């Protein structure tokens, strides 16, 4: 069985400060992990993906994530938040048939 | 726009009615997935096709749910005898197995179903 746990349902940061969205996973095999973002009334967009290459993954819009096997974590970070980053973020695990298992999401609020 | 499209974007129906949603994937993509997203939750996987073959359907929520992809292009998801609990966003995604995008799934905007 595989699962994804997003440790915070809501995160609030001030514009210009760092962002940290936490994700832990459980998988019986080497996982492929993703972060997707969902803006209101828009489709899910891929931010970045880990597929057993480099453990530090760079994505779009300045986001990064680090795969840590020993901690079964895949946390998402960004050095400086922008107002446009406010959205729902999903940590996602790819299954054996490539179907995706989503976490429950983290709502990011960026304060001016 | 050459992304994944879904139709309709919104559907309001009365309990007990049948509804059908359509998904048009990115044209060269050979895999098509259906997900359901309820309020405050992440999407949950329902079923997927590789070309016209439905390779996984055990996760469909009940026998009232069915999906087809008759010619390996567009797909339909049908819900028979809708219930209020079926109210959700239904998402479609497509991917190209073996392509440079490494199975990245591209999502459509979703169909929001409201059952009264």
pLDDT digits (tens, 9 = 90+) for B33-76: 999 999 888 999 999 999 888 888 878 888 999 999 988 899 99
The answer to whether residue B101 scores a pLDDT higher than 70 is: no
Bridging pattern class, strands A87-94 and A106-111: antiparallel
Using CA coordinates, name the residue in chain A closest to B92: A43
Angle in degrees, CA B60, A98, A101, rounded to 5 = 65
Interchain contact A73–B (C-beta under 8 A)? no
Q: What band does B100 get if pLDDT is binned at 50, 70 and 90?
A: low
CB contact under 8 A, B43 and A100: yes
Give the per-residue pLDDT at A97: 64
CB contact under 8 A, B45 and A100: yes
Using CA coordinates, name the residue in chain B closest to A90: B42
The answer to whether residue B1 scores a pLDDT higher than 70 is: no
| Mean predicted confidence (pLDDT) in A36-45 | 88
CB contact under 8 A, A97 and B105: no
How close A104 gets to chain B, by Cα (Å)?
Answer: 5
Q: What band does A53 get if pLDDT is binned at 50, 70 and 90?
A: confident
Q: What band does A70 get if pLDDT is binned at 50, 70 and 90?
A: very high
Can you give chain B as a three-state secondary structure string?
CCCCEEECCEEEECCCCCEEEEEECCCCCCEEEEEEECCCCCCEEEEEEECCEEEECCCCCCCCEEEECCCCCCEEEEECCCCHHHCEEEEEEEECCCCCCCCCCEECCCEEEEEC
How close A42 gets to chain B, by Cα (Å)?
Answer: 6
């Amino acid at each position: 069985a595989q699962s994804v746990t997003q440790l915070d349902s809501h995160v609030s940061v001030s514009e210009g400060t760092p962002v940290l969205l936490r994700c832990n996973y459980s998988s019986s095999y080497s996982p492929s992990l993703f972060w997707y973002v969902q803006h209101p009334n828009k489709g899910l967009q891929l931010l970045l993906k880990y597929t057993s290459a480099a453990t530090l993954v760079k994505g779009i819009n300045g986001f990064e994530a680090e795969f840590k096997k020993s901690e079964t974590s895949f946390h998402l970070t960004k050095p400086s938040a922008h107002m446009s980053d406010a959205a729902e973020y999903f940590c996602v695990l790819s299954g054996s048939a490539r179907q995706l298992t989503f976490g429950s999401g983290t709502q990011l609020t960026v304060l001016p | 726009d050459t992304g994944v499209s879904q139709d309709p974007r919104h559907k309001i129906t009365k309990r007990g009615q049948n509804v059908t949603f359509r998904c048009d994937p990115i044209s060269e993509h050979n895999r098509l997935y259906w997900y359901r997203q309820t309020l405050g939750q992440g999407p949950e996987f329902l079923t997927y096709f590789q070309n016209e073959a439905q390779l996984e359907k055990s996760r469909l929520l009940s026998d009232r749910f069915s999906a087809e992809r008759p010619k390996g292009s567009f797909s339909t998801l049908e819900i028979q005898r809708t219930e209020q609990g079926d109210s959700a966003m239904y998402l479609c995604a497509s991917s190209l197995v073996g392509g440079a995008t490494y199975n990245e799934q591209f999502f459509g905007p979703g169909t929001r179903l409201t059952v009264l």
